Amino acid sequence: MSVALITGASRGLGRATARALSNRGWSLVVDARSDADLSDAIRGLPDVVALGGDVTSPGHRAALATAVMGFGRLDLLVNNASSLGTSPLPPLRGYDLGALRRVYETNVVAPLALIQLLAEPLATAGGTIINLSSDAAVEAYQGWGGYGSSKAALDQITNVLAAEEAGLRCYAFDPGDMRTDMHQLAFPGEDISDRPEPESAVPALLRLLDERPPSGRYRAADLTIPSPAEVTS
Ligand SMILES: NC(=O)c1ccc[n+]([C@@H]2O[C@H](COP(=O)([O-])OP(=O)(O)OC[C@H]3O[C@@H](n4cnc5c(N)ncnc54)[C@H](OP(=O)(O)O)[C@@H]3O)[C@@H](O)[C@H]2O)c1
């Protein structure tokens, strides 16, 4: 039996990842702030503990760790829950510092806090940490300085963790653009129907688990398995 903790599993990529791992027989601990959305997302899945709560809350993180230990092991931590920050995305000159702190609490502090809480069972299992990144961590898009710098910090946490924790695989994973609530928030009022569904990034994430390449930063676009038609054309 393999066990994963996935934060932010009520919609988008977190939900798609939870369903894919459950299909493979994994046991799961999942969370999101909205209990109702989370219950809908996991309906029908076996061996799932779903906890409503905010990853920025130490009490909620402790409850997640307790739920994990109920399964007796942890093979995978996916730090997926994330905050875009203020929408429309403001330039750095006018970025509200309270809002910036909240972005960092969700995207940087909470993922590291979960890693600290769960490093021991992850190391025992020779497990994997996947921290969700973004192209905004490495590209200088106007308005993306708050969210992008938080993802850059998480990337570097992943890098250093990989150097410190030889027994773990530590990945920063950039899923690429996806048609989700967060993406819509980044482009308010725009038609984002040309972006791929979040399910399209899941095969690349699963490939990290199946092939266990060296720790590092990976883009879904570079991991996606070409279809037979693409290989033969
Ligand atoms: N969408 C894109 O184009 C894109 C591109 C690059 C990277 N990413 C990254 O991919 C990951 C998934 O993004 P997504 O687009 O799938 O997001 P999404 O559709 O907005 O879903 C976010 C999930 O996280 C939960 N969540 C948010 N804040 C939380 C908190 N403080 N505590 C607990 N749960 C929380 C949400 O539920 P509640 O609101 O109920 O809490 C929801 O389940 C994120 O790390 C994002 O930065 C996305």
- Over residues 167-201, the pLDDT tens digits come to 999 999 999 999 999 999 999 999 999 999 999 99
Closest ligand 1 atom to Cα of 56: 31
The finding on whether 5 has its CB within 6 A of some atom of ligand 1 is no
Cβ of 130 less than 6 Å from ligand 1: no
Distance (Å, whole) CA 167 – CA 175:
25
**Nearest atom (ligand 1) to Cα of 13:** 16
The per-residue pLDDT for 171 is: 98
Assess whether pLDDT exceeds 60 at residue 230. Answer: no
Helix (H) / strand (E) element for 51: namely strand 48-52
Torsion of CA 92, 96, 97, 99, to 10 degrees: -110
Distance CA 206, CA 24 (A): 10
CA separation for the pair 182, 45 (Å, rounded): 25
pLDDT digits (tens, 9 = 90+) for 124-160: 999 999 999 999 999 999 999 999 999 999 999 999 9
Q: Quick check: 231 pLDDT over 70?
A: no
Q: What is the pLDDT of residue 226?
A: 63
Residue 95 appears among annotated catalytic residues? no
Active-site residue, selected from the candidate residues 95, 147, 171, 218: 147
For ligand 1, atom 46, name the residue with the nearest CA. 82
Residue 115 buriedness (CB in 10 A; 0-12 / 13-18 / 19+): buried
What is the reported pTM? 0.97
The per-residue pLDDT for range 36-90, each reduced to its tens digit, is: 999 999 999 999 999 999 999 999 999 999 999 999 999 999 999 999 999 999 9
Question: How many CB atoms are closer than 10 A to CB 126?
Answer: 11
Q: With bands split at pLDDT 50, 70 and 90, how would you rate the model's confidence at 224? A: confident
Helical ranges in 72-109 per DSSP H: 97-104
Phi-psi region of 214 (alpha: psi -120 to 50; beta: other; left: phi over 0): beta
Is 232 a residue whose pLDDT tops 80?
Answer: no
Residue 229 has pLDDT above 70, yes or no: no
**Alpha helices (H) in 48-144, listed in sequence order:** 58-71, 97-104, 110-124
